[in-house]
Structure 1
């Protein structure tokens, strides 16, 4: 017997035994669910109307019902449908896609654990920049020392002291801060006699070098307020002054050397 979907007008050919009370059909074209018996009556009225008017309806696509056990044609709502296999196929496709994502995620995690350097080589440019920035935190290659001088001076409370001072210039294209220098004293055989590190940014006057006690001089040269004021956010081409004082310097000093040992990047704004 022929039936027509009331929603999209697609025609179907079904076995007569499927037309029973309560039976429903599901259209495989638009998924409309409708009663078989009511649809059958509607089709009979339509056919009578066609005979009276003697007009031919436009050709409609006719879909044959699948052959086989009729029970297999009944859906969850006792409705016939040819679209069930499509839905199951779609479900299988989603499952396969999910499994592929899991496998790729596991492979990525394993690669990060076993070969992090290899994975980092494929990072986006911005992430690479951040990584390079982290490794160059203490890069001092472009901090230049200039106007360096050294001299002995007699302090009335300590005795003879040895002073090295100068300027550290930032030649990077970005700001630097907390620049630290290291001064070293050598004898005639180039052996190290004494070495001392000092944060730049603080200094004392010639008069203070002559009259302040050892603790007072050390406290003045390590003054955190002065260091933070002068040795932070040093812009490119700008300089910061440093002063290193050796109390009771060793005998036989023939040479001295000064180098930058630390220069940090300002914290990100």
Structure 2
């Protein structure tokens, strides 16, 4: 048998045995409670309107679920017509998703704290470079020295000076910078008697070696502008020139040696 909600005009189909004297029903659409045995005015059929904007007001028929009619009994001795839509699942789903994210975040934090070396294995190469040991970051094994020359020259203010100059070539597959060399003077017994380190990238002319004072030569050889211009971002196969000057060198110099002591990696952009 069909029953119509007197409030929202929704139609329901219920078993005939439910229509007893005094029985009530609760509409699952608008929650209206009404008697199953309706007065005639409640059974009046409402004709659908032609206006397309009120189509949502047309009566809809809802069929009660099959099975034991006792399951349809609601509060206060009323019947529930159909089952309202349940939204608890979406809330539970969000809660479960939030708990999973929380657990994953805690696990990652624990791994980072307890096993940082394991985490570093999965870091990008740029981040790994920052954690390289100094011995690796300052590798000079593939900086090659070439065009080495040495000579004495007389300076009018200092006297005799000993000059060693040449080129340091980058044979790495990556850029290098601030390449530094160390020159050592030895006596006839191969004993070191003087040693000096110098950054490449700056130099002076023969005329300057002859006329500049000691302080002026030192400033020229350590000119920061020239060093930053010529001794930074030295690309593979490119060279940087160096010049080491010994003022008043020992009289018993028999040999000399030059080696690269530093070659840094450019900072990561």
| TM-score, normalising length: structure 1 | 0.69
1:37-76 correspondence to structure 2 within 5 Å: 37=34, 62-64=64-66, 67=71, 70-71=74-75
Pair 107,213 (structure 1): closer, same or farther in 2 beyond 3 Å: same
> Matched residues in 2 for 1:217 and 1:70: separation?
103
The answer on whether the counterparts of 2:4 and 2:43 sit within 8 Å (CA) in structure 1 is: no
1:209 maps to which residue?
209
Report the counterpart of residue 120 of structure 1 in structure 2.
120
TM-superposed deviation, 1:82:
4.5
1:38 to partner: Cα distance = 10
Q: Distance in 1 between matches of 2:262 and 2:9?
A: 79
Cα displacement (A) at 1:146: 0.6
**Counterparts in 2 of 1:3 and 1:260: CA distance versus 1, 3 Å:** farther
Contact 1:73 1:80 in 2 (8 A): no
* Alpha-carbon separation, structure 2, partners of 1:169 and 1:187: 28
CA deviation after TM superposition for structure 1 residue 243, in Å: 0.2
- Partners of 2:28 and 2:84 within 8 A in 1: no
**TM-score (norm: length of structure 2):** 0.69
Q: 2:196 — aligned with what?
A: 196
**Number of residue pairs aligned between Structure 1 and Structure 2:** 240
The CA RMSD measured in Å over matched residues stands at 4.1
Instruction: Quote how far apart the aligned CAs of 1:67 are.
Output: 2.0
Query: Which ranges of structure 2 fall in alignment gaps of 5 or more residues?
Result: 46-61
- Structure 1 residue 66 displacement after superposition: 6.7
Q: Is the 8 A contact 2:12 2:81 kept in 1?
A: no
> CA separation of 1:79/1:243 partners in 2, compared to 1, >3 Å: closer, same or farther?
farther
Show the counterpart of 2:55.
none
Asked if structure 2 preserves the Cα contact closer than 8 Å seen for 1:149 and 1:166, the reply is yes
CA drift at 1:170:
1.9
Task: State the SS of the aligned residue for 1:228.
Answer: helix
User: In structure 2, do the counterparts of structure 1 residues 68 and 9 end up closer, same or farther at CA, with 3 Å as the change threshold?
Assistant: closer
Kept after mapping to 2: 8 A contact 1:145/1:168: yes
